[in-house]
Structure 1
Amino acid sequence: MADLHIHSKYSRACSRDCDLEHLTWWARRKGISLVGTGDFTHPAWHDHLRDALVPAEPGLFRLRDDLDRDIDRTLPPSLAGRTVRFMLSVEISTIYKRDGRTRKVHHLVYMPDLDSAAEFNRRLARIGNIASDGRPILGLDSRDLLEITLECGGYLVPAHVWTPWFAVLGSKSGFDAVADCYADLAEHVFAVETGLSSDPEMNWRVSSLDRYRLVSNSDAHSPPALGREATVFDTSLDYHSVRRALETGDGHAGSIEFFPEEGKYHVDGHRKCGVRMEPVETLAHNGICPVCGKPLTVGVLSRVEELADREPGFRPGGVAGFVNLVPLPEIVSEIVGTGPKSKKVLSEVDRLTAAFGPELSILQDVPVDDLAAHSTLVGEAVERLRRGQVVRDAGYDGEYGVIRLFEPGELERRGSALSLFDFAAPAVEAPTAKVAVAVAPVPAPPITAPEPVVDGKPAGLLEWLDPEQREAAGSGGGPLLIIAGPGTGKTRTLTHRIAHLVLERGAPADECLAITFTRRAAEEMAERLEVLGARVTVATFHSLGVRILQEHHADVGLSPSFGVADPDRQVEVARTVCGDDKEARRLVAEGAEVYKKALRALDLVDFDDLVGLPLGLLESRPDLVDAYRARFRWISVDEYQDVDERQYRLLELLAPSDGNLTAIGDPDQAIYRFRGADVGFFLRFQEDFPGARVVHLTRNYRSSPAVVRGALNVVSPSTLVPGRALEPLGDHGDAPIGVHHAASEQAEAAFVARTIEQVLGGTSFHAFDSGRVTSDGTQGLGFSDFAVLYRTDRQSKALVDALTRSGLPFQKRSHDRLLDRPGVARIVRELPFAAGESVVDRIKAVAGEDHAAYELLKPLALDCGTDFERFHTTLALGVEVDTWDPRADRISLLTLHASKGLEFPVVFIVGCEDGLLPLRWPGQDDDTDEERRLLFVGMTRAQRHLFLSHTSARPRSPFLADLGDFRRIGDAQPQRRRAGTQVSLF
């Protein structure tokens, strides 16, 4: 008897008794010889497993001898000493998007040893938070979870496959076939768990399931629930035999099942309204609750009926059988008329197991006459059970069903009584009430059809642009300023313009230069241009500077193999001329001449030099200016509102006043003054380039009308675009902006976590069982569709804590350079600029025991191959290397500044308070106009839902007064004062 799906005390809504000692005690009581450990991904539980278990048969473990002896002392001779082994197991919840739908699938993963489990944990830690819940919630495709499982040497079984909310075949978020879920790796899945609400006979109706062994487990959240369902094996007691039995069927002897009607999701219904329906009734009501008019929760029976291609009662050849049982405490509970956890019931079960052995043996094997000699009614109940003679009251929408052995009133008429002993029942904590936030579901935006292609080229590059975009992209030569509001297709317009110039107007591709501000933006633009069929030079200001310096290195006193100093190296060089670390950092910050000379002596430049040196060179060499103007006759600059004074001067040299310069951006999104950016250069473009054409893009495809209206209201008092207009055209619904007033930062963060779960339609069974979530939410969303924005990084701590407690996977994003991470700079300094081995092999050798730094550097090292120079230069340019597994799907936590250029279906902006937004620095003039623009940028990142929040710690942001219409969500309630007590002062 094997029960290989259980949970530990580190899983939500699980008993504190879910430890190895209690699990062993109850396994002996039930007659289970093989138990899953559950939750081996949780760090604390994993440590407990290493401490309390010792190896037994291959791939299995037993409890440490001293602990085992203590347990046996508390058991009667009929139960003591029975074999109990553990197999490493864990349940993983994956929530992700596939084919335009939100998928929520639970999986059981098994590992053969603790080292394999540790490697599996290490990989999952790069995907999500595995420390907050024994059943981790990951934003990872099911197929990718299976791949990681196989790479670590384990196997995977889809859990409770029919459950509506969280299962591979579930009606709410699953697939129509198991193989569809696991894609190209589907052949590696060889067993499925039927769950409490179905039994094998129901599953036999679906022919696509014939290839899988049907297994059952208890999914126990407390030790007494062990063995309520189990799988029977006729094999040796070891991991490999169990796996082989599931793969081949040889040794898979069947299962012990609930009556499926007892499961929580057997039939359809709506728990809140007390409505329960059989499938035919549900069809008659079109799946709608007749009481409240909301969709019913479609249960397992209906879902099986939907996918079935066989009649009820069909049994494939060669399959293992099963037996339906009712747990012994429930049988005794019905007889004595008290709850199954009452003292009366537990005392009587103690007497039965002491006399006859484990519960499963009593239910299946002990002669009825022997049981009847102990209790006539127990004997009769077990006899009826073995015949399948039960009364069934089916469960629905999260409510367990009830299976009875006696007809209503039968026991009262017979006047039954039992001799019972006292037995202390475990205390049960009442669930904490939660307040739900209603979020109206909005249909997912339609997928845009690809542009038609003829002979490998797009048919009419401008044909698929809107009139404003077409006007901008189709403009001929000469200076052009494109004022592109948020969500108006800025990058699309610019790339189509460049491709149109090259492919349809004859501009030579090698004479076109596109300049962006970040490496990520440059890569995106280059990819889009290549898809359109145009390959041109795309660079950041700094990579353009590297190109110029490489071509004219001798003119600035550098060798062909000059290097770019990372921050640690810069301080190290400065220290050689001043001897003091603090002074060295000051010299670096000021770009002092003595520091620069020391750099040059080592054939190094720093980040600032990559623009400063080319600028100085061109300003002193008119011949080079003419040469570069001849080389790049068509220049396009993205995000022009963000140029600083040196970048502006460099552009002046490269592009004559009557040249073919296209600048695109939005002055109302100018938010980088602290970096030296000056929006004034954008505003005076027509003065600098007389005769320049100006085109406005005003059609917003990104955000809902409510978001667009609110954002325009916020920015209008200080807009830099006269007559600022945005017309919302996307299909994102029109959910009102939500504004929440929280009592504290912690309460604000809890609101964010709670609302994310509600918009997703729940991330766990507990969310529904507790009433915290009551609807499907907004369909088609994954974790990466959520962003939480804040003004300062300090605000992230409360959010990190709240999301961690909720078990939600998140990534705290920033623009910090990889070289600033611990351990990385040391490794990089020891790497050569050239070597015969690959960069990744050299890094591994140098890193030694610093595995974390090695993992940080590995993605970029693999990309660079053996090119050490490229590796060093890319690092020095400030590349962001994501330390997370690229397959991971996560909520984004990031500052408002870092959100620029991104978009998300759901956005939260926390800390909308005076002193944070606008941020006020002591002793400095406030630039509330730029702070207002910053909020405008943050708001326009949202597509469907936007939530703004503030706390009682400060006055709310004055910007919210201009917001217009919004929906108030759960304002903080003032704390009640305790009644005063008069005390004697004498």
Structure 2
Amino acid sequence: MRFVADLHIHSKYSRACSRDCDLEHLTWWARRKGISLVGTGDFTHPAWYDHLGENLVEATPGLFRLRDDLDRDIDRRLPPSLAAAPVRFMLSVEISTIYKRGDRTRKVHHLVYMPDLSSAARFNARLAKIGNLGSDGRPILGLDSRDLLEITLECGGYLVPAHVWTPWFAVLGSKSGFDAIQDCYVDLAPHIFAVETGLSSDPEMNWRVSSLDQYRLVSNSDAHSPPALGREATVFDTDLDYYSVRSALETGDGFAGSLEFFPEEGKYHVDGHRKCGVRMEPEETSAHRGICPECGKPLTVGVLSRVAELADRPHGSRPAGAAGFTSLVPLPEIVSEIVGTGPKSKKVVAEIDKLTAALGPELVILQDVPVDDIAVHSPLLAEAVTRLRRGEVVRDSGYDGEYGVITVFEPGELDRRRSAFALFDYDAPAPSTVERARPAPAPVPVAVATPVAESAGSSLLDGLDPEQRAAAEVAGGPLLIIAGPGTGKTRTLTHRIADLVTSRGVPASECLAITFTRRAAEEMAERLALLAPDAVDEVTIATFHSLGVLILREHGARFGLSASFGVADPERQLEVALSVVADGKEARELVDAGDARYKKALRAQDLVDFDDLISLPLSLLEESPPLVSGYRARWRWVSVDEYQDVDEQQYRLLRLLAPPDGNLTAIGDPDQAIYRFRGADVGFFLRFREDFPGARTVQLTRNYRSSTAVVTGAMQVIAPSSLVPGRELRPMVDHGAAPIGVHHASSEAAEAGFVARTIEQVLGGASFHAFDSGRVVGDGTQGLGFSDFAVLYRTDRQSRALVEALTQSGLPFQKRSHDRLADRPGVARIAHDLAFAGGSTVLERVRAVAGDDHTAYELLKPLAAECGADFERFHTALALGVEVDTWDPRADRISLLTLHASKGLEFPVVFIVGCEDGLLPLRWPGSDDVEAVDEERRLFFVGMTRAQRHLFLSHTSGRPKSPFLAALKAYEQLGDAQPKRKRKGTQLSLL
């Protein structure tokens, strides 16, 4: 059978990749595109490997498919033209090897394929002894390419060199590669039988290099998000199984060629300097001797030049027996050019939905559907496809990391044609949006306006608003950035760091960026990778705790630790404590108290616990001024995110790392300081200018998240106790004129019913019953899914009524916890970790920790709720050793969160329930702590500013209304709080 394969993709565990890179989204998009075989990507990542094992079943020898229940769900969400197509998966991973060979550092990427999960497990076990497989789905190993190939062969797989011409990370790349495949893999080179040509080259270019004749020239998308599947792909004419595909690559029998980008669209096709705006064809580069005429530095040599350098045949040569190829432009990009909006815009997405429903998969539309059939839907699209099939496109080549642009219409041509007919009944856009350059994608998330992205050759800071730019441009010294909610805090900080290392001569290795969570650190790394890809690996991006690990790795010997010390997880902590005392309860007390005997036992096993990761580095630096001087010289530029959340130990650590006149940038918002219960002290933020005399202060006041009504209301609420003098927040996006809604319910159950009812109304109905019952009469707010809704509450107890109401309404939801690992008591922390680990021994292990069944069940009960599972089913499954079927976190569901858990998130629609005195603010018996009430007000402010379009506040008759609501000057009162009174019965007389 003839089929299309895309065997180079990435999962959500790879950096700078979409969270939608999961098996279900990949399957959905593969069917939409017309792709039958997809690589899994990232099978070396522990979490992704487990996910593959849980969700894939063998379909044919060496290939897998989604398990039946997930596959049926995707079928139901696809039109009949797409639902029936089978999609198979092959175990794949991209691996980066960086090593010295001869007098050069080599950086080569490889694609590795395995026939089954057991082979992949053996491969992973081998690589785990070499490098860290858990930090990125695309692991980086200090391993020679030849040795990686040897391990691959020993585990039963095969290897394909990835995007072989890419300048920086490829076997034939101009910067760090080799001049021949054989040079890289030496004695094992005969085991290489295919090479991936990459986006910036096509087979015709590769045919000029005779040493490549012995290899099948494959193409894949290297997709970082599911919609990018199939932008390049390989065509086979074999049986659909692993061994037939491998045989076709080895022998050429059944290898039917490839589907290609136009190579000019690749971001390394020609030579140049993006920073200088210089782009050159190979002849121009030669004339300039490879030197940029603007800055005098060497140009980035692109693929076209590199191919010419290694070519021993003229352009147009074709080896005997070489498989053909077809060059395509993705269908969304063609429709985008015609419509004049981004390829991810609602207009384009809607039209692609219609086209694929009517005509079949996208690749079939581009190659096989008769143009007359396409013309029925759009004459312009039919003309575009006709030109594409003839190769008649306008090419604007990419260079030095900047993608090229391929269009099918000449500049101005669409305007002339629109005078005769329009595409898809849409109004013609302004001429500037359809000429030459493909429009930028719509902002993500939809309807949130962000500053415009930078164009080629412009400053990294050009896309920032004036306030963000003012903050990013500060030359040096202490800097305090007060960043209100939705003002682009992370964007400003990452642009500042990127500009320092790319434009102002600051060595990337001298930059340290500190965040509070791993998620924030990963987001910062992803953004920096896009802004400064050549420097991001040298910037130290760490949480406070991972920074502590780094310091202890280097100097932990002073505490008796080796450079490879371990961090004890909760279970290991308890085991260590039990080596000191025999009683389980007393052991847990030792752990929670940080008892000296327990700490000594930890050290004896070369271990530290979570708390040690801050306290030990702090004591180390406080006792060693020379060490302080060394770290200050190492990291001359320090940036700290969420500075309002630092606690006393973190504050002291920062004061040691950054001198009073040093280059410390602190960013945050004291009006979002809500973690006093964790030890955070907003006072450190407020005294920044005392600690760092001469510090510059910049405020970010432009909110790009929320509607005018939400911003105005939030500002009114925070005003009475704002910690920012002259607090200002200006809405910069238009989400419509929906006012804040305030609802007064008669009870918690009625309040929860209001939430469920309103969600259905805003959605425009989630079931036929919603219309039949009269609960929904309109089509709601367009463009929302369940995951666009969040219900926030002050205490977890409030979620019970919500869970019941949403369950009764049939609305899918998930409860999400805000607890950080370090904040959980020992037993609860262990139970949480074990419960979410799954498997047959969970209950047994929790019972051993808890001491008895009753305590174990009480610990697991809220965790079962977080999983979305019925508790009786949950603990019965655990007791029987059956793995519990928890909810998939990627599914589209309403979020139930505490207000603390909502920090850092945003949703189009937000409900805050329990706006009552005693809950908001939460009042403890006998306490009149004014600061505690002020923090509760800040917590309410945080919750309000999570909303983008709609904000609903509700309270019940059980308590007085929250005093915070009194500050609202404009809102819409919703519903009737008073329950209907029953009429008294009437005694009828028979006389």
Residues 665 and 883 of structure 1, relative CA distance in 2, 3 Å threshold:
farther
Letter in 2 for 1:954: R
Distance 1:461 1:619 in 2: 38
C-alpha separation in 1, matches of 2:612 and 2:70? 55
SS of 2:897's partner is strand
Q: For residue 485 of structure 1, what is the aligned residue in structure 2?
A: 484
Aligned twin of 1:53: none
Structure 2 residue 628 is the aligned partner of structure 1 residue 625? yes
> 1:639 Cα shift?
0.4
What's 2:566 paired with?
Answer: 563
Superposed displacement of residue 89, structure 1: 13
Alpha carbons of structure 1 residues 795 and 554: separation in structure 2 relative to 1, 3 Å: same
Corresponding residue of 1:469: 468
Distance between the aligned counterparts of 1:827 and 1:558, measured in 2?
33
CA distance in structure 2 between the partners assigned to 1:938 and 1:913 by the alignment: 15
Scaled by the length of structure 1, the TM-score of the pair is 0.51
- Aligned counterpart in structure 2 of residue 699 of structure 1, from 698, 702, 707: 702
User: How far apart, in 2, do the equivalents of 1:544 and 1:793 lie?
Assistant: 32
* 1:702 CA drift (Å): 1.1
CA 661–827 in structure 1, closer or farther in 2 if over 3 Å, else same: farther
Query: Are residues 1:712 and 2:750 paired?
Result: no
Q: Which residue of 2 aligns with 1:670?
A: 673
Preserved contact between residue 736 and residue 965 of structure 1 (Cα < 8 Å):
yes
SS at match of 1:468: helix
How many residues align? The count is: 551
| Corresponding residue for residue 452 of structure 1 | 454
Pair 1:976 & 2:981 matched: yes
Paired residue for 1:937? Answer: 942
Map of 2:493 onto structure 1:
494
C-alpha distance after superposition, 1:437-489 (max 9, x if no partner)? xxxxxx962765852342xxx62122221111111110011000011111111
CA distance, structure 2, for counterparts of residue 789 and residue 88 of structure 1:
31
The answer to whether the aligner puts 1:654 opposite 2:832 as a matched pair is: no
- Map of 2:770 onto structure 1: 767
After superposition, the Cα gap between the structure-2 partners of 1:449 and 1:525, relative to the gap in structure 1 and judged at 3 Å, is same
1:599 aligns with 2:602: yes
Counterpart-to-counterpart distance in 2, 1:180 and 1:678: 60
| Structure 1 counterpart of 2:643, from 627, 631, 640 | 640
- Offset of 1:175 from its aligned partner? 3.3
**1:962 corresponds to 2:971:** no
Aligned residue in 1 for 2:399: none
Aligned partners of 2:754, 2:634: CA distance in 1, in Å?
56
- Residues of 2 paired with 1:634 and 1:143: CA distance? 37
Task: Give the AA of the match of 1:572.
Answer: E
The CA deviation at 1:767 is 2.5
Please give the per-residue CA displacement for 1:71-95, whole angstroms capped at 9, x wherever unaligned. Answer: xxxxxxxxxxxxxxxx999996999
- Give yes or no for contact 2:449–2:705 (8 Å, CA) kept in 1: no
Tell me: CA distance 1:89–1:617, structure 2 relative to 1, closer, same or farther (3 Å): closer
Greater RCO, CA 8 A, separation 6+: 1
Question: 1:907 maps to what in 2?
Answer: 910
Secondary structure of 2:817's counterpart equals coil
Alignment match, 1:545: 548
Residue 951 of structure 2: aligned partner: 946
Output one character per residue of 1:106-155: Cα deviation in whole Å (capped at 9) or x when no partner: 9998999xxxxxxxxxxxxxxxxxxxxxxxxxxx99999xxxxx99xxxx
Q: Secondary structure at the match of 1:578?
A: coil
Once the two structures are superposed, what CA deviation does each residue of 1:170-208 show, in whole Å capped at 9, x if it has no partner?
Answer: x99993234489866989xxxxxxxxxxxxxxxx99979
Q: Give the % identical residues.
A: 69
- 2:586 corresponds to which residue? 583
Task: Please give the residue correspondences for 1:835-874 in structure 2 after superposition, counting only pairs within 5 Å.
Answer: none
SS at 2:666 equivalent = strand
Q: Post-superposition shift, 1:538?
A: 0.8
Q: Does 1:514 align with 2:513?
A: yes
1:175 and 2:353 correspond? yes
Aligned partners of 1:105 and 1:142 also within 8 Å: no
Q: Deviations over 1:254-311 (max 9, x none)?
A: xxxxxxxxxxxxxxxxxxxxxxxxxxxxxxxxxxxxxxxxxxxxxxxxxxx999xxxx
Kindly indicate whether the alpha-carbon contact (under 8 Å) linking 2:486 and 2:706 is maintained by their aligned counterparts in 1. Answer: yes
With over 3 angstroms needed to count, the CA separation of the structure-2 counterparts of 1:978 and 1:94, relative to structure 1, is: farther
Q: Check conservation: 2:576, 2:602, Cα contact below 8 A.
A: yes
Note if contact 1:738-1:948 (Cα within 8 Å) is conserved in structure 2.
Answer: yes
Partner of 1:176: helix, strand, or coil?
helix
8 Å contact from structure 1 (residues 90, 108) kept in 2: no
Q: Following the alignment from structure 1 to structure 2, what is the Cα–Cα distance between the partners of residues 923 and 768?
A: 49
Supply the distance in 1 between the matched residues of 2:523 and 2:915 (Cα, whole angstroms): 32
User: Residue 265 of structure 2 aligns with which residue?
Assistant: none
TM-score by length of 2: 0.51
Do the aligned residues in 1 keep the contact of 2:454 with 2:462 (CA within 8 Å)?
no
Distance in 1 (CA, whole Å) between partners of 2:713 and 2:983 is 41
Counterpart of 2:573 in structure 1: which amino acid? Q
Q: CA deviation at 1:687?
A: 0.5
Asked whether the equivalents of residues 477 and 661 of structure 2 are also in contact (C-alpha less than 8 Å), the reply is yes
Cα offset, 1:667, TM superposition: 0.4
Report the CA distance shift for 1:511/1:174 in structure 2 as closer, same or farther (over 3 A). closer
Q: Give the CA deviation at 1:766.
A: 3.1
Q: 1:595 to 1:715 in 2, by over 3 A?
A: same
Structure 1: tracts of 5 or more residues without a match: 1-86, 97-103, 113-139, 145-149, 152-167, 188-203, 210-304, 308-442, 831-849, 858-881
* Whole-Å separation in 2 of the counterparts to 1:544 and 1:468: 30
Contact 1:487–1:702 (CA<8 Å) still a contact in 2? yes
Give 1:822 shift. Answer: 3.6
Q: Letter of the aligned partner of 1:175 in structure 2?
A: D
Letter in 1 for 2:599: K
2:557 to 539, 554, 557: 554
CA distance in 1, matches of 2:360, 2:811: 23
Deviation at 1:598, TM superposition (A): 1.6
5+ long unaligned stretches in structure 2: 1-67, 87-224, 230-239, 242-345, 366-372, 379-423, 427-444, 822-828, 843-859, 868-884
By how many angstroms is 1:826 displaced? Answer: 9.6
1:781 aligns with 2:959: no
Asked whether the 8 Å contact 1:89–1:108 carries over to 2, the reply is: no
Aligned mates of 1:183, 1:884 — CA distance in 2: 30
* Residue 784 (structure 1) shift: 1.8
Give the aligned partner of residue 55 of structure 1: none
Contact 2:708 2:734 in 1 (8 A): no
State the distance in 1 between where 2:959 and 2:80 align. Answer: 43
Q: Give the counterpart of 1:808 among 804, 808, 811.
A: 811
Amino acid at match of 2:679: G
Listed one character per residue, the Cα deviations across residues 610-632 of structure 1 (whole Å, up to 9, x for unaligned) are 11111111111111111110100
Counterpart residue number, 1:310: none
- TM-superposed CA distance for 1:577, in Å, is 2.3
Give the Å deviation of 1:530.
Answer: 1.1
1:191 alignment partner in structure 2: none
Residue type of the partner of 2:529? Answer: E
Residues 520-540 of structure 1, C-alpha deviations (whole Å, 9 max, x = no match):
000001111111114121100
Given the superposition, is the C-alpha separation of residues 571 and 981 from structure 1 closer, same or farther in structure 2, using an over 3 Å criterion?
Answer: farther
Assess, with a 3 A threshold, how the Cα gap between structure 1 residues 913 and 620 changes in structure 2: closer, same or farther. same
| Counterpart position of 2:107 | none
Partner Cα separation in structure 1 for residue 665 and residue 784 of structure 2:
37
CA distance in 1, matches of 2:685, 2:455: 36
